[in-house]
Amino acid sequence: MKPLPPKPSDVPGPGPSQRRTRPRAIRRLVIWYRRNAAVTTLVDTATSAGSAAGSMAGSALSTAGSALSTAGSVAGAAGSVAGAAANTVLQPLVFDPLRRLQRGVGGSEGTPIDDADRLWVAVDGMGGDHAPGPILEGCLKAVRLLPLRVKFVAEAGAVATAVAELELGEALAAAQEEGLLEVVPSGVSVGMDEEATVVRKKRDASINLAMDLVKEGAATAVYSAGNSGAVMASAIFRLGRLKGIDRPAIGALFPTQDPEQQVLVLDVGANMDSKPAYLHQWALLGNIYSRDVLQVAQPRIGLLNIGEEECKGNELALKTYPLMAAEHRFQFAGNCEGRDVLSGEFDVVVCDGFTGNVLLKFLESVGSVLLDVLKAELPRGRRGKVGSAFLISNLRRIKKRLDHAEHGGALLLGVNGVCVIGHGSSKALSVVSALRLAHSAAHHGVMEDLQRLSAESGDTAESAVACG
């Protein structure tokens, strides 16, 4: 270890004239660096030696504390953090980045949860590329972090194998004993590459049984990371569509420039071919969700288009614009260009499923690439190593805002129940975030307002379809 720099008192200081000409900010910076010079050495050591260097840094700083007590304590904390996080600067967190969804619905470790506030959520345990292991692992974490209980619907044999492989036996037994998780056996599941209509043949599939639990009132919401087409088909067949809604839409929450604001984009993949009436109905659904769950007093609705002018766009956009402009039940803010989606100027953006899905996948890729670039470039060089150590909390917040795994899933709006569709590649982190989203929708009573809208606008929607 490099010797500590001498104390400021041992070093001859500049004369009075030199002290007066030196800016105050520079003097403060020089004093701080002299007192905390050990930090650079410790961070450098932590980066090269990994987690072992963290403990070495702590012991080294405790020795130096006799000479520099105040600076040693500050530097020790920084060195310890740097050593532990040297190779894990951007590791996943278990907290949802959507701050509005966190309010009033639990969500932090150590926060006591009243069992009376817990809601039942049905989970399709066989849905997803990695099911059922990571799905079950996420559910076990979610019941500890969120005020909910889980009915885990899956094939008994697959669950037993996953529990053994991931060593989840103890956690599962504890959750079952406390009444936080219940395993519901199912039949043969729907494969990720199967046709959506297969849900009619596999009546005992996990996704069908999960939907039945919501229909029967045994659960308030359902979550599945399985075949999105099959999930949508099962929701329509088992739960049914809301009156006046011809086609359900998948709504995804995108981050914006404002960390306190998210924009709801729908449809992002449920309907490849759309009609003007469909987009109009989705605007009504998005308005209610944004108002009730995201707590936006008067959501601004935008129509995704290639220009702001009313006269621009394809035939679908040109016919949809007057329908939305004439609607008095929400605030139509006009056309939304691609560059404006994340600007924060809109609270809900409506588009056809093909365009929305391309937008969703592009945003996911941009977020992943940006995070990889930050992870690769920031620790380079001595200055980068020091800076990364002090920017760890900032980097974690950036990841929470950009990583699609932090958002977990998307809502299927337009069916008679709360339904969340997750990514096929979902793992524990995504499952926790998706269950938070499902709980938030159920907790805020969004279905009551959607059903009220359905009863009020059934005739209006039918006439709009006829005109479209």
Give the pLDDT band (50/70/90) at residue 4: low
258 and 190 fall within a common domain: yes
Residues 33 and 77 in one domain: yes
334 assigned to some structural domain: yes
**Phi, psi (5° rounding) for residue 419?**
-135, 130
Nearest to 61 by CA among 34, 83, 80, 85: 80
Question: Given 84, 113, 132, which residue is the final one in a domain?
Answer: 84
Residue 39: pLDDT over 60: no
One domain, residues 51 and 197: no
Q: Summarize the confidence of residues 356-360 as an average pLDDT.
A: 91
CA atoms of 26 and 115, how far apart (whole Å): 56
Q: Is the pLDDT of residue 79 over 70?
A: no
* Same domain (yes/no): 68, 126: no
Q: Are residues 387 and 455 in the same domain?
A: yes
Of residues 409 and 299, more confidently modeled: 299
pLDDT at 256: 85
Predicted local confidence at residue 111, as pLDDT: 64
Are 128 and 48 members of one domain? no
Cα–Cα distance, 74 to 97 (Å, whole number): 29
Instruction: Count H helices and E strands in the chain, helices first.
Output: 18, 11
Residue 92 in any domain: the answer is no
Query: Which tens digits make up the pLDDT trace of 151-181?
Result: 999 999 999 999 999 999 999 999 999 999 9
Domain count, the chain: 2
Long-range contacts of the stretch 334-339 (C-beta < 8 A, 24+): 334/302, 334/303, 334/308, 334/310, 335/302, 335/303, 335/304, 335/305, 335/307, 335/308, 335/309, 335/310, 336/302, 336/303, 336/304, 336/305, 337/304, 337/305, 337/306, 337/307, 337/308, 338/304, 338/306
Label residue 137 by pLDDT band (50, 70, 90): very high
Q: What is the distance between the alpha carbons of residues 100 and 432, in angstroms, rounded to a whole number?
A: 16
Per DSSP, 307 falls in state S
Question: Based on the domain organization, do 376 and 457 belong to the same domain?
Answer: yes
Is 1 within the bounds of a domain?
no
CA gap 426, 402 in Å, rounded = 16
Q: Is residue 399 part of a domain?
A: yes
Domain contains 65: yes
Q: Which of 1-15, 21-35, 110-124, 327-341 has the highest mean pLDDT?
A: 327-341
pLDDT at position 93: 31
Q: Are residues 76 and 125 in the same domain?
A: no
Q: What pLDDT was estimated at residue 177?
A: 95
Q: What is the pLDDT of residues 201-227, one digit of tens each?
A: 999 999 999 999 999 999 999 999 988
289 lies in some domain: yes
Residue 378: per-residue pLDDT: 79
For the domain that residue 151 is a member of, what is the CATH number? 3.40.718.10
- The whole-number pLDDT of residue 270 equals 86
Chosen domain end from 34, 57, 84: 84
Q: Is residue 409 part of a domain?
A: yes
Q: Which of 84, 110, 138 is the last residue of a domain?
A: 84
Alpha-carbon dihedral sign for residues 435, 95, 288, 228:
negative
Mean pLDDT value across residues 304-309 = 92
Q: Are residues 61 and 107 in the same domain?
A: no
Helix (H), strand (E) at residue 185: strand 181-185
pTM of the predicted protein model: 0.70
Taking residue 241's Cβ as centre, other Cβ atoms within 10 Å add up to: 15
The verdict on 226 and 341 lying in the same domain is yes
Q: What does the pLDDT read at residue 49?
A: 46
pLDDT for position 83: 42
Torsional class of 128: left (φ above 0), alpha (ψ -120 to 50), beta (otherwise)? left
CA 357/CA 337 separation, integer angstroms:
16
Asked whether residue 281 is assigned to any structural domain, the reply reads yes
Lowest-confidence region among 9-18, 138-147, 425-434 = 9-18
For the ranges 66-80, 141-155, 164-178, 333-347, the lowest mean pLDDT is seen at 66-80
Interval 100-120 mean pLDDT: 63
**Residue 50 confidence (pLDDT) above 50:** no
Looking at the structure, do residues 290 and 215 belong to the same domain, yes or no?
yes
Least reliable range by pLDDT among 188-192, 238-242, 329-333, 364-368:
364-368
pLDDT digits (tens, 9 = 90+) for 382-425: 777 777 777 777 777 776 676 665 666 788 999 999 999 988 87
Give the separation between CA 164 and CA 174, rounded to whole angstroms. Answer: 15
Question: Do 65 and 192 belong to one domain?
Answer: no
Task: Provide mean pLDDT across the span 70-87.
Answer: 41
Is 182 a residue whose pLDDT tops 70? yes
Q: What is the pLDDT confidence band of residue 25, given thresholds at 50, 70 and 90? A: low
The answer to whether residue 20 scores a pLDDT higher than 60 is no
**pLDDT of the residue at 86:** 37
Question: 429 phi and psi, to 5 degrees?
Answer: -60, -45
The predicted structure's pLDDT at residue 81: 39
Domain ranges, residue 373: 99-467
Average pLDDT value over all residues in the chain:
78
Is residue 92 predicted with pLDDT exceeding 70? no
pLDDT of residue 36 exceeding 80, the answer is no
